[in-house]
Amino acid sequence: MPETEPTYVKKLRSIPKQTFLFGPSPIQFLPRLSKEVSPAGDVKIWAKRDDCNSGLAYGGNKVRKLEFLVADAISKGCDTLVSVGGVQSNHTRAVTAVATASGLKAVTVQEKWVPIDPPLYDKTGNILLSRLMGGDVRLNNEPFHIGHKTATKQAMDDVAQKGGKPYYVPAGASDHELGGLGFTNFVVELAEQENQLGVFFDTLVVCSVTGSSHAGLIVGAVAEGKGRKVIGIDASAKPAETKEQVTRIARATAALLDPELKIPDEAVVLDERFHEGIYGIPGPTTSEAMKLAARTDALITDPVYEGKSMAGMVQLIKEGSIAAGSNVLYVHLGGQPALNAYSSYFEE
């Protein structure tokens, strides 16, 4: 690598990680969605497809983060990844996938984060994939919050008592020393792709719940110093908690990569208008945004995360908060396997 590389990039490249991705995730122009949302053609919408980033159980944003955490687990001699999520967690599916691909075991605590029980909700979608991969799936009824969970500590103790060496992966692979690195690396990757495409994406739109995808993007954008704006769309329905966690993860990640790198308050933007009042349940705004993306450029989004961030991006463009002349990058985090469990919401 050239000697002129910034401190944060050198540090980022020096931190061990596994290779779970195909390479840089593809960037796709969305011409029909752009025309529908911006009829004058003055805002162009692109998507960086982290839903297509890996061959491990449908990939997604968590796989990018887990490259760093799994390398750390292996370096510490751990043999079991232990994590937590909802019944239809994309994250726990990804944890099980990277564990399987690395010759490790996975124990995932699947909680009742979403207060619904449609047909086959706990038997199809993400949880089916985790079981198919041989994951140790444990259901309980604890409700949603983004913090650390008692049941995960109990699962860790259980692994240790049986002679294993567990490695703790927080919800979303987020509130962890290495949690923000994957999406800081996303921005480094993006800058290289922009040079090839001859396009600069002035605005990134990303869903935000446990916060490390959003936080990593902020660190990358602040560090590169190009004036790129990162807009998080809250899907937690607990935006104060999410914003606090995003800010904390971003600042911890920045300090890890370069002690001189500071994250100002104004860099943490979280729009809380689109969560529809509850985590994990699509309301009419979410459903309409999902249909719009699907029926223009066949871009499939999920009802928990990406449908809500899609609704946010569409509204930001229509109201002029994303200005004419912008090249907007929709950061597609994945999550489509959960759609199978939400079929009753899309029967027409």
Burial class (CB in 10 A: 0-12, 13-18, 19+), 288: middle
Rounded CA-CA distance 96/5 in Å is 35
Could you give phi then psi for residue 53, rounded to 5 degrees?
-85, -10
Indicate which residue of 25, 38, 54, 89 is catalytic.
89
CA dihedral 311, 212, 229, 234 (to 10 degrees): 30
Structure tokens at 336: 């489509």
Give the closest residue to 178 by CA, choosing from 74, 88, 301.
Answer: 74
166: how many CB neighbours lie within 10 A of its CB? Answer: 21
Residue 330 and residue 306: Cα distance in Å, rounded? Answer: 10
Q: Distance (Å, rounded) from C-alpha 165 to C-alpha 156?
A: 8
DSSP of 50-86, one letter per residue? GGGSBSSTT--HHHHHHHHHHHHHHHTT--EEEEEEE
| Residue 273 φ/ψ region, left for φ over 0, alpha for ψ in the -120 to 50 degree band, beta for the rest | alpha
89 labelled catalytic: yes
- DSSP 3-state of 284: helix
Please list the active-site residues: 89
